[in-house]
């Protein structure tokens, strides 16, 4: 909805379902934050803010530090921590309970 914030994660920034959700969010007036490995992607261009994680992905985005973990594991683990930190900080700043957040979760469907 107008004034909402959508935070998406997509290593490539080209994931079709994420791109569709991003476009829908922008159409209804929501702000968009993307956590990605590619700052020059389709979804990144739609985003109001990007958090770029330099990590190996299955698409060969910025490899960042070397890792023996397969495909996008390092990116996905780092993204999970980033989501948790952002969520906790927003909940504190906006004084929003977990129950209130659950009511608005996935309201774009």
**What is the per-residue pLDDT across 25-80, written as a single tens digit (0 to 9) for each?**
999 999 999 999 889 999 999 999 999 998 877 766 556 677 788 778 888 999 99
φ/ψ region of 56 (left if φ > 0, alpha if ψ in -120 to 50, else beta) reads: beta
Provide the whole-model pTM: 0.77
Sign of CA dihedral 17, 21, 60, 85: negative
Does residue 109 have a pLDDT over 70? no
Does residue 17 have a pLDDT over 80? yes
Question: Which two structure tokens, joined as six digits, stand for 33?
Answer: 């934050």
Highest mean pLDDT among 2-11, 24-33, 99-108: 24-33
* Residues recognised as catalytic: 76
Alpha-helix runs per DSSP H in 28-58: 42-46
Question: Which two structure tokens, joined as six digits, stand for 52?
Answer: 């770029």
**In DSSP terms, which residues pair with 6 in a beta bridge?**
32
Task: Convert the pLDDT of each residue in 85-96 to its tens digit.
Answer: 988 998 999 999
pLDDT, position 90: 86
């Amino acid at each position: 909805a107008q004034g909402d914030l959508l935070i998406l994660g997509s290593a490539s920034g080209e994931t079709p379902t994420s791109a569709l959700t991003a476009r829908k969010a922008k159409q209804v007036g929501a702000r968009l934050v993307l956590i990605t490995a590619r700052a020059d992607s389709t979804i990144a261009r739609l985003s109001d803010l990007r958090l770029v994680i330099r990590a190996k992905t299955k698409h060969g985005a910025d490899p960042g530090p070397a890792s023996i973990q397969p495909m996008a594991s390092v990116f996905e683990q780092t993204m999970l921590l980033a989501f948790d930190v952002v969520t906790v900080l927003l909940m504190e700043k906006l004084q929003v309970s977990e129950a209130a957040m659950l009511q608005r979760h996935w309201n774009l469907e």
